[in-house]
Structure 1
Amino acid sequence: MTVDMISGRSRVIVHIAYPSHHLRTPQFFNAYCRDQMLDAVLVPWQVAPENLRAAFESLRRVESLAGVIVTIPHKASVAALCDSLSPTADFLKVANVARRGADGRFHGEMFDGTGFVQGLKNRGLSVIGRRALLIGAGGAATGIAEALVRAEVAELAIANRSVDKAMELASRLRLLFPDRSIRATQADARGFDLVVNGTSLGMNDGDPLPVPASTLAPGTLVCEVVMQPDTTPLLEAAAARDCVVHKGNHMITGQIELLAKFLLGTEGA
């Protein structure tokens, strides 16, 4: 649908982020709604962490609201604010989407990991049997970590600025997948053929690379979650070393249909 088609019957979805200037999900989601003739619109909301609870609680009373899509840095916080969570979101303690019920209660789900893997599949890329290095242990990275193991990587190593957080995530994942190789490590890509930046590094000018470019071997599949800029410094460095690069926008395009069905469809909580 287009802006001039929005009416008093349109379902509204807000995309909560801080900051919001980098968001590209609204353009993908609204294009999908237009193509599928869905009477809904997604709008970005910039909400500082200290104001998140108040903003979220106010949405319980908005009857036009279908739900919220959530990104950095709010995924863990929104999961804690939801009234119920899917098994995946509950295990991971993060949510990137929450559907509002008629009673104002929110049900949270986590599609980042599913969308990430689907985005790879859409480009004919497989993670099966790969040795994966994931940088980050926050909201998006947590979902991607679970999805990579479920998609049968041979090994998952998690590197994070806070080593304790990487170790905690690895420990929780081993409870779910006790027979798989999952560990915490350093941000060094030597020995890995799949590298995923699951942090916000690369979004702002002057950010350091999430992993030293010198450790990237030719042919390594290097993936981003950062969508703005379209080609991050990590992807530029990876391309220069003859790696296969995978942009951040593929993660969201891989889950647009899932988000729309969850927020606007008939699935029960």
Structure 2
Amino acid sequence: MNTAPEGPQITGTTRLFAVLGDPVAQVQAPAMLNPLFARLGTDAVLVPVHATPERLADVVRGLQAIGNLDGLLVTVPHKTALLSFADVVSPAALLGGSTNALRRTGDGRWEAANFDGEGFVRGLRAAGHDPAGRHVSLAGAGGAGCSIAVALLDAGAELTVWDRDADRVRTLVDRLAARWPGRVTGAGAPVPADIAVNATPMGLRPDDPLPFDPAELDAGTVVADIVMKPRRTALLAAAEERGLPVQYGAPMLAEQLALYKDFFRL
């Protein structure tokens, strides 16, 4: 007898949501959002959609043309590119220059927001690592990194951003320094900090190099990774072996569920 739990009940009235990425095998959003739909009694389903950068415009325009598709979630590497498919952009997404969620509005337009940063900060606080008044070294000035940078500064942190792409760091720091003068700087490599964050995709694949070496961090430095699969990335394993406190990637998404509920009007 098959006792496996039933999945979402798809009918002709089911509303659709998609999470876009390249790759998508690592995405955790369907496993968290679909149970939320079920708990709320919402007739909807979230599915992963693999979209390469070369076909992104075709995929997004096709999805947005679907009459019963209400929203899009966005993961690497499309968070910056998806802003160009929005008609309205929230202040946080505009300041960070990236989006991880788009919804269809009542008049048919598409509105972009970004909840990565707020979810990340909420996760830090829930684990007892309030960033207020602390120095954070942030690896990655891509889509997720930009959103996290905005939220950390808004939470009262001092921030150093570094990335292999110096131009990207300069652009982000200049934009944020206009809002938070004296509290954000750029660097070409990790710097000593109270909290060290990996906001790059490094760690998704088994052969990825470490984004930075925990052995070079001071004792007590909190090491946070936004990669969710694998849960214990090589970076976090190396940090734990050195006795450093760590923050896993999953809380960043878990803390966004309430934000998604409001944004998508579930």
TM (normalized to structure 1)? 0.93
Residues 214-240 of structure 1, C-alpha deviations (whole Å, 9 max, x = no match): 212221111111111110010011111
Q: How many residues align?
A: 262
Structure 2 CA distance for partners of 1:43 and 1:4, relative to 1, 3 Å: closer
Q: Write the letter of the residue equivalent to 1:97.
A: A
Is 2:27 aligned against 1:26? no
Classify the secondary structure of the residue corresponding to 1:80. helix
Report the CA distance between 1:213 and its aligned residue: 2.3
Residues 93-136 of structure 1, C-alpha deviations (whole Å, 9 max, x = no match): 21100001355421100111011111122223311111100000
CA distance in 2 between partners of 1:4 and 1:149 (Å): 39
The answer for the alignment partner of 1:14 in structure 2 is: 18
Correspondences of 1:86-101 after superposition (within 5 Å): 86-101=90-105
Report the CA distance between 1:175 and its aligned residue: 0.8
Residues 152-180 of structure 1, C-alpha deviations (whole Å, 9 max, x = no match): 11x200110112211221111001112x4
Residues 216, 238 of structure 1: 8 Å contact kept:
no
CA distance in 2 between partners of 1:116 and 1:149 (Å): 12
The answer for the alignment partner of 2:136 in structure 1 is: 132
The answer for the alignment partner of 2:186 in structure 1 is: 184
CA distance in 2 between partners of 1:78 and 1:95 (Å): 7
Structure 2 CA distance for partners of 1:149 and 1:4, relative to 1, 3 Å: closer
CA distance in 2 between partners of 1:4 and 1:15 (Å): 16
Report the CA distance between 1:60 and its aligned residue: 2.5
Structure 2 CA distance for partners of 1:214 and 1:69, relative to 1, 3 Å: same
CA distance in 2 between partners of 1:33 and 1:76 (Å): 27
**% identity of equivalent residues:** 35
Residues 162, 169 of structure 2: 8 Å contact kept:
yes
Residues 122, 255 of structure 2: 8 Å contact kept:
yes
**CA RMSD, Structure 1 to Structure 2 (Å):** 1.6
CA distance in 1 between partners of 2:140 and 2:114 (Å): 17
Q: Write the letter of the residue equivalent to 1:169.
A: L
Residues 215, 239 of structure 2: 8 Å contact kept:
no
Report the CA distance between 1:61 and its aligned residue: 2.2
The answer for the alignment partner of 1:206 in structure 2 is: 207
The answer for the alignment partner of 1:71 in structure 2 is: 75
CA distance in 2 between partners of 1:93 and 1:238 (Å): 30
CA distance in 2 between partners of 1:44 and 1:78 (Å): 16
Structure 2 CA distance for partners of 1:6 and 1:236, relative to 1, 3 Å: same
The answer for the alignment partner of 1:168 in structure 2 is: 171
CA distance in 2 between partners of 1:201 and 1:65 (Å): 31
Classify the secondary structure of the residue corresponding to 1:120. helix
Structure 2 CA distance for partners of 1:81 and 1:216, relative to 1, 3 Å: same
